[in-house]
Structure 1
Amino acid sequence: MRDIRYPIEGVIYHPEERARGYLERSVWRPQTVGGVLRETASRCPERTALITDEGSLTFRELDELTDRLAAAMLRLGLRAPDRVIFQMGTTIETALALLACYKAGIVPVCSLPQHRQLEIGALIRQTGARGYFVQGDFGRADLPDFAAQMMADYPGVEHLIVARGSASQTGHAMGSMIDGMPLLQAREQLFGNEPGCEDVLSFQLSGGTTGSPKIIPRFHAEYLAHALACARRYRLDETERIIWALPLLHNAAQVYVLMPVIAMGVSAVLMPRVDVPRMMELIDQHRVTRAMSIGPIAPQIMAYPDLARHDLSSLRLFITMSAADHLERHLGVPCSNLFGITEGLLLGSPADAPDYVRHHTQGKSGCVEDEIVLLEPESETPVKPGEMGELCFRGPATLPGFFNAPDANARSFTAHGFYRTGDMMTAHVVDGDTFYTFGGRLRDNINRGGEKIGCEEVEALINTHPAVSEARLVAMPDPVYGEKGCIFIIPRPGSLAPSVPELGAFLVEKGLAKYKCPERVEHIDAFPVTKVGKLDKAALRTRIAQVLNREAAMRRESDDDQD
């Protein structure tokens, strides 16, 4: 019998027979997130769960406060499986709000504070949201006022809850809701109303860089097991302390941090924003054992000039998206590459994995039932061993389909149910295990007069240059070849970005074909990111195209003056 107590129209659920098999083989957990938190709070009530500069919470406090908030939401009029928009940063209040929703069966729509009318409007229309959580003190943005405007445009959104700020006339202060709900009454109200383990936990957003994000339903049983399989892959144990400085609403924050915290009893240090000097101080102060860079953190660490004054001896592993060898030499701490996708696959390697695996692959899955194939692009033909192909996967955590998106679902899966990632990978067999190396996006290349240049291949070499902290290659328009390569470089402190001839000589010496060498170098202080926190290469391409247009205009003006 299925444990779906609050079905949602438009959600594609895992077929019953498959779900039953996952539960029987223990690749799903027959529990809910709320139930697991209660068990952990009972086992280690006074252990610290979450740490911030503003204060900390024990597991007992985390469990009690989320019970009270969950019941307060039900008293307010929200009901499972209502959807609620989230625009909150990385704070204890965000963790409380998320976990309270998970306990009540209310489904967070994991948006970001940076999203505006187009994104939020589309998400409200797509999900039929009835509630709205905002953070009242997020930067210079007035999120309560923005939410009130959106609610005026979409009257179906009835309930506004404001954390870390006073409630507006149309909203409710989250702190007051908790204070007004006695614990005993809260637990009586929640009893019997909890979601089932196969119910939807949250609506995560796809990481696409164009158009409206697709909505990815994640489920209690699979999400818990997914996160714990990854934790096992990294040899994580309950003595660990993790640090996190990126959005807490991201899928990465949930699977790498929040789920292990509540399920294993590990502790997490939360930072409201990326601040490398403060991160180094917190690693030292709280004896952090695990750190992670998804996005801008690793390049900023590489450019940080005062690293030597911090004690990082507690760190057992630093996980990054790429260039782990580069970062490991800089930090003196074991580092490994990772790969993660919200649609349901996590690859990684622990600190004791061979150097080649940690530094030159993204690792492997921690789930024994994840199946991976590499296919020739736009086909269902597997590539030959050693060749690069599109990463496609299926398994216990693979989404069965995007929410209310039949066209996207028709395009996104193979005939055998493998999800097409659009990411290119190469498989490597080491000591009998298969590991995967990221080779770029299907369309992340440069077509230089018909010759294709893979950006990641060139970037990986340039990132080994002693003057380079981080580099990203994009296509720039060219009147003869159609496209040429432009490299954006963040130099190391005290260094200058190499010139085009210097960089070309360096790359040719490394063995790179000359036609692949970048033909323009641009200095940049920080890379632009999308609203979901991923590198925005489209913005870099736009930037260099605008620079070239300005230079062409100046040349034309100069020619006119000479005439």
Structure 2
Amino acid sequence: MSDPTSMGTVPWPPEFADLYRARGYWEDTAIGDVVRAVADDHPERVAVVDGSMRLSYRDLVDRADAAAVRLRELGLEPDDRILVQLPNGWEFIVLTLACFRSGVIPVMALPAHRRHELSHLAGVSQARAIAVPRTLRDFDHEALALELVEELPDLTLVLSLDRDRPADGERVIDLAGLLAGPADAAEARQAADGMRPDPDAPACFLISGGTTGLPKLITRTHNDYVCNVRATSATAEFDADDVYLGTLPVSHNFPLGCPGVLGALFVGAKVVMLPSPEPVRAFATIEAEGVTVAAAVPAVAQRWLDHQEEVGGAQLASLRLLQVGGSRLPDEHAARVRPVLGATLQQVFGMAEGLINTTRVDDPDEAIIGTQGRPVHEADEVRVLDPLGKDVPDGTPGAIYTRGPYTPRGYYNAADHNTRAFTEDGWYGSGDIVVRRPDGNLIVHGRDKDMINRGGEKISAEEIEDLMYRLGSLELVAAVAMPDAVLGERLCVYVVPKPGRTAPSVEEVREAFDERGVAAYKFPERVEVVADLPMTKVGKINKKALREDIATRLDSSTVRS
């Protein structure tokens, strides 16, 4: 039997919780109730578009309530965890809302995750169920889910989605059937109302970027996540007339709740789901659905800019706001957004652990182009510290620390890591190095932790190094970021072979990672074989020197070519 979530969750201190509640930052409302109230006011308005599937707000909440009841009939109780690994589609939204209504806690996995990541997430969360597409991009997710059920004691249910045919019904539950409309909507609503979770209870688990080892789980409560969505909706100036395009994996915090899908549903706007940000289809969808707001990582924004310059036309006429986050957008690309795409750029710098910063729609161009914004909520506390933990003056680089009404006080079941990531008085250090300007806007200068940011997907160097050592032929390994014009960073691994052994090629490494069930975005893209690795004075591998070395090697190869 799985442990109560409260056993692994770090609560806000009572004095902070009381303050946030007294000032109205916490509304004491469950997420599902917010969407339900919008549906009551605007039942016939279109809520979700996914290809030919169009759900009104009434359809959306009725399906969610029916699914909440069916989850209970499957034996899932409030506080049970379900691993959700679904692609962008209406099914993700309905299942997530069903969880929010029933008190079942979704663990937001990514479609790119494989055995390596899924077994870890399911194990740490003690998930009882997993929701997957049957197959996606030629990978059999259902087969892997069944293997995990055999291996993990808590995991017993597989919910499988196939839009062409239902699941076999013996070992696998048909997810499409579970998400179907109710036979009696009023009865389903009454039953779902009776399951209403405590607003201070966990709403979902987001996953960390993973600076050390495998991802950690971030407990987001109904109260803090409603606060998160409300604050980011305000800075994006979301209203009922907006149409939000979801192309990034919606299980990420950015497209889910900053303000993302939930922000749109909170104000009665329309959500349009796409499985990919590929510009031809994305631009056609923007034109067809009148999309007003879209979110992108820098690599996607660059592709959109290049495509629009190449093809021209007025497909983006409705787009008023392009949010870009996940990693820093180079200033030269930021300056192109308004003249090329015709939309206002909103830079977004934040973390699934809480704090979100954005530029504002009415900021001057120099702030929109040259900064990553400022905190979205009046109660966000931010400090910029030197290596000794002292505050630095504005204009000086330092490590950012934060706390506030939607920044949790610790990772789930990670006491050792919490002592490193959080101070005793509750400040969270993300590892990002920033400069704060006198106007409060932040400029991101990088990070002080060992992490590769590949197009917005965070890769732990420690995790990669551990996987490399398992190959058995290596004496020393160091994973570092190498610069890339499209993704910002890619993954390079420096290796020193054991005496008498041969280092694996990059192709052999990628094959080995694939066999171990590692997500493809974590595959090394370059292997540098060296006789030894540079060391710091305290005997640690000098990653800074290696990053400089690979940058030099890349520059040299460019010159030679």
Pairwise TM-score range, normalised by the shorter structure? 0.7 to 0.9
1: CA distance, partners of 2:82 / 2:30: 19
Number of the residue aligned with 1:241 = 243
Number of the residue aligned with 1:82 = 80
Number of the residue aligned with 1:253 = 255
Deviates more, 1:190-199 or 1:327-336: 327-336
1:94-113 equivalent positions in 2, closer than 5 A: 94-113=92-111
Structure 2: which amino acid aligns with 1:314? S
Partner residue of 1:302 out of 298, 302, 305: 305
Partner residue of 1:42 out of 34, 40, 43: 40
The CA deviation at 1:306 is 3.7
Partner residue of 2:219 out of 200, 207, 217: 217
The CA deviation at 1:333 is 2.5
The CA deviation at 1:8 is 2.8
The CA deviation at 1:443 is 4.8
TM-score normalised by L of structure 1: 0.77
CA deviations 1:360-410 (Å, max 9, x no partner) are 111112210001110113x31112321011111110011111001011110
Structure 1: which amino acid aligns with 2:198? G
Partner residue of 2:364 out of 346, 354, 357: 354
2: CA distance, partners of 1:189 / 1:483: 51
Number of the residue aligned with 1:145 = 143
Number of the residue aligned with 1:525 = none
Structure 2: which amino acid aligns with 1:270? M
1:301-340 equivalent positions in 2, closer than 5 A: 301-304=304-307, 306-321=310-325, 322-323=329-330, 324-340=334-350
Q: Secondary structure at the match of 1:292?
A: strand
User: Judging changes above 3 Å, is the alpha-carbon distance between structure 1 residues 146 and 375 closer, same or farther for their aligned structure 2 residues?
Assistant: same
Number of the residue aligned with 2:197 = 195
1:281-430 equivalent positions in 2, closer than 5 A: 281-304=284-307, 306-321=310-325, 322-323=329-330, 324-377=334-387, 379-429=388-438
Partner residue of 1:279 out of 279, 282, 290: 282
Partner residue of 1:65 out of 63, 66, 76: 63
2: CA distance, partners of 1:43 / 1:437: 41
Structure 2: which amino acid aligns with 1:384? P
Identity of aligned residues (%): 27
Q: Secondary structure at the match of 1:296?
A: helix
User: Judging changes above 3 Å, is the alpha-carbon distance between structure 1 residues 539 and 181 closer, same or farther for their aligned structure 2 residues?
Assistant: same
CA deviations 1:203-253 (Å, max 9, x no partner) are 110012552101100000110111111111122222111111111111112
1: CA distance, partners of 2:44 / 2:527: 52
Number of the residue aligned with 1:263 = 266
Q: Secondary structure at the match of 1:303?
A: helix
The CA deviation at 1:81 is 0.5
Structure 1: which amino acid aligns with 2:410? G
1: CA distance, partners of 2:528 / 2:288: 40
CA contact (8 A) 1:113 1:143 kept: no
Structure 2: which amino acid aligns with 1:439? H
The CA deviation at 1:19 is 1.5
Structure 1: which amino acid aligns with 2:249? P
2: CA distance, partners of 1:303 / 1:79: 49
CA deviations 1:423-471 (Å, max 9, x no partner) are 0100112xxx31111111125799xxxxxxxx99xxxxxxxxxxxxxxx
User: Judging changes above 3 Å, is the alpha-carbon distance between structure 1 residues 88 and 122 closer, same or farther for their aligned structure 2 residues?
Assistant: same
CA contact (8 A) 2:112 2:520 kept: no
User: Judging changes above 3 Å, is the alpha-carbon distance between structure 1 residues 381 and 532 closer, same or farther for their aligned structure 2 residues?
Assistant: farther
The CA deviation at 1:486 is 6.6
1: CA distance, partners of 2:313 / 2:195: 52
1: CA distance, partners of 2:231 / 2:443: 20
1: CA distance, partners of 2:451 / 2:340: 29
1:161-176 equivalent positions in 2, closer than 5 A: 161-164=159-162, 165-168=165-168, 169-176=170-177
The runs of 5 or more residues in structure 2 that have no matched partner are 455-460, 462-477, 488-516, 532-548, 554-561
Q: Secondary structure at the match of 2:271?
A: strand
CA contact (8 A) 1:136 1:166 kept: no
User: Judging changes above 3 Å, is the alpha-carbon distance between structure 1 residues 208 and 43 closer, same or farther for their aligned structure 2 residues?
Assistant: same
Number of the residue aligned with 2:497 = none
Structure 2: which amino acid aligns with 1:386? G
CA contact (8 A) 1:32 1:197 kept: yes
Partner residue of 1:132 out of 108, 130, 152: 130
CA contact (8 A) 1:71 1:181 kept: no
User: Judging changes above 3 Å, is the alpha-carbon distance between structure 1 residues 487 and 206 closer, same or farther for their aligned structure 2 residues?
Assistant: closer
Structure 2: which amino acid aligns with 1:395? G
2: CA distance, partners of 1:84 / 1:104: 12
Structure 2: which amino acid aligns with 1:82? D
1: CA distance, partners of 2:317 / 2:238: 17
TM-score normalised by L of structure 2: 0.77
Structure 2: which amino acid aligns with 1:177? L
1: CA distance, partners of 2:231 / 2:265: 15
Aligned length: 469
The CA deviation at 1:418 is 1.2
User: Judging changes above 3 Å, is the alpha-carbon distance between structure 1 residues 544 and 70 closer, same or farther for their aligned structure 2 residues?
Assistant: farther
Q: Secondary structure at the match of 2:322?
A: strand
1: CA distance, partners of 2:37 / 2:113: 35
The CA deviation at 1:540 is 5.2
User: Judging changes above 3 Å, is the alpha-carbon distance between structure 1 residues 15 and 55 closer, same or farther for their aligned structure 2 residues?
Assistant: same
Number of the residue aligned with 2:466 = none
2: CA distance, partners of 1:367 / 1:82: 31
CA contact (8 A) 2:319 2:342 kept: no
Structure 2: which amino acid aligns with 1:312? L
CA contact (8 A) 1:316 1:351 kept: no
1: CA distance, partners of 2:411 / 2:65: 30
